[in-house]
Amino acid sequence: MDDRLSQEVCSILKKELKRCNISYRTLAHELEISEVSVKRLLNNVQPLSMQRLISIGRLIHFPLSKLLEEAEKNINAVPIFTREQDLAFFECPALFTFWSELTEHRTVNEIAERYALNDASIHLYLRKLEILRLIELRPGHVCKLLVPSHTSFEKGSRFPIFFTQTVLNRLQARVIDLPAKDNQAFLITLKAELTHEEFLEITHKLDDWMFNKLRESQETRAREGLNVAPYTFGFMAAKGAFHDKLPAIPNLTEDLRNSVFSPTQKQS
């Protein structure tokens, strides 16, 4: 089991033990080990054997297959900013910039130098991020991220609205009137007759693809040495026909026939 999966398994076990009102002392008695050892196992300090996982699962009526399935699902779920975090970013957009810089593995000193921040401002930004449970602040202004860099905003969140408008406006300006040989951007539009279920299926597939790709891009060790550059995607869709109406079909006068149809077309 990799470390992320092990950590999530332990988190689920602790939650289920609490739900079942089973203490660490009781679990230690059932497993015939010390209470200290139980704490080490459930805090992922030492590995849980498969046999012990099965034993704990039986005790809390949580099958091993279900435990692993839920753990896999949880670690692959897209993390979401809380409403409190969203509101804080909305009220102070610079706070999101500071957090984003930290996710780019920049040190606090590098951020301070880049934005010419004084010590008082640095303290306030870091303290606010700590209160919001976005970072854990350690001595020497060392920050541990408490949420992954690919954390997203929930639908209807306040902060992304103006931010998204800016991004989409700039993206639109880039993709309109693309030269034929430009392979660094694309623009695709379509109008399709779909059932609501088909529309939701497309939405979910795009959503899964984007966030899977985002997670992959954050695996810096696996991608070390690759020549990468930032790419921006903006997929949009909504129920309705947003295309302009097709041009009207007029009666053709002689002048119109001469201007619209080529000589080849008129002969055929």
Give the CA-trace dihedral at 15, 21, 27, 29, to 10 degrees: 170
Range of the domain at 134: 83-145
pLDDT over 70, % of the chain = 90
Decide: residue 81, CB within 10 A, 0-12 exposed, 13-18 middle, 19+ buried: buried
- DSSP string computed for 190-257: ------HHHHHHHHHHHHHHHHHHHHHHT-TTTTTT-------------SS--SPPPPP-PPP-HHHH
* Candidate ranges 91-95, 152-156, 217-221; pick with highest mean pLDDT: 91-95
pLDDT of residue 1: 60
- 71 and 92: one domain? no
- 12 and 71: one domain? yes
- DSSP string computed for 120-145: HHHHHHHHHHHHTTSEEEEGGGEEEE
pLDDT of residue 268: 42
CATH of the domain at 50: 1.10.260.40
pLDDT of residue 101: 92
Specify if 201 maps to a domain.
Answer: no
Specify if 100 maps to a domain.
Answer: yes
Q: How confident is the model at residue 212 (pLDDT cuts 50, 70, 90)?
A: confident
pLDDT of residue 267: 45
- 63 and 122: one domain? no
Q: What pLDDT digit, counting tens, does each position of 78-130 carry?
A: 688 999 999 999 889 899 999 999 998 899 999 999 999 999 999 999 999 99
pLDDT of residue 132: 95
Q: What percent of the residues of the chain are helix, what percent strand, and what percent coil, each to the nearest 5?
A: 55, 5, 40
Specify if 126 maps to a domain.
Answer: yes
Q: Which residue has the higher pLDDT, 251 or 199?
A: 199
Q: What pLDDT digit, counting tens, does each position of 186-195 carry?
A: 888 888 899 9
Nearest to 130 by CA among 142, 119, 118, 120: 142
Whether the predicted model's global pTM rises above the 0.85 cut: no
108-115 helix and 93-103 helix, angle to the nearest 10 degrees: 130
Specify if 212 maps to a domain.
Answer: no
- 15 and 65: one domain? yes
Specify if 202 maps to a domain.
Answer: no
Tokens of 11: 């988190």
Structural domain total, the chain? 2
pLDDT over 90, % of the chain = 40
Q: What pLDDT digit, counting tens, does each position of 162-174 carry?
A: 777 888 888 888 8
- 59 and 107: one domain? no
